[in-house]
Amino acid sequence: MRESTFWPRLLAHPWILGIAGILIVLLLWTAVTATGLVDRLFLPSPAAVLAAGQAQASAGILGRDLVASVTRVFTGFALSAVVALPLGIAMGTNRAICQLLEPLMGLIRYMPAPAFIPLLIIYFGLEELPKVMLIFIGTVFFNTLMIMDAVKFVPHELVETALTLGGSRAQVLTRVITPCIAPQVLDTYRINMASAWNLVIVAELVAANEGLGKRISLAQRFLRTDEIFVGLIVIGVIGLLIDLGFRLLMRRACSWAN
Quick one: pLDDT at residue 1? 43
Q: Which DSSP symbol is given to 168?
A: -
Phi, psi for 54 (deg, rounded to 5): -65, -40
* pLDDT per residue of the chain (258 residues) written in tens, 0 to 9: 455 565 566 556 667 777 888 889 999 999 998 888 888 888 899 999 999 999 999 999 999 999 999 999 999 999 999 999 999 999 988 899 999 999 998 888 888 888 898 898 888 887 889 899 999 999 999 999 999 999 988 887 777 787 777 777 787 877 888 888 889 999 999 999 988 988 888 888 776 788 898 899 889 888 899 999 999 999 989 988 999 899 888 888 877 666
Where are the domains positioned within the chain? 56-257
Q: How many other β-carbons are positioned within 10 Å of the β-carbon of residue 172?
A: 19
What is the pTM for the complete model shown? 0.84
What does the alpha-carbon distance between residue 77 and residue 93 come to, in Å, rounded to a whole number? 24
What does the alpha-carbon distance between residue 92 and residue 154 come to, in Å, rounded to a whole number? 10
Q: Which alpha helices (DSSP H) does 173-211 contain, by range? A: 178-206
Q: Which alpha helices (DSSP H) does the chain contain, by range? A: 6-11, 14-35, 46-58, 61-93, 95-108, 117-124, 129-152, 156-164, 169-172, 178-206, 212-221, 225-253
Q: CATH number of 56-257: 1.10.3720.10, 3.40.50.1700, 1.10.1740.10, 1.20.1250.20?
A: 1.10.3720.10
What does the alpha-carbon distance between residue 21 and residue 27 come to, in Å, rounded to a whole number? 10
| Coil vs helix vs strand at 175 | helix
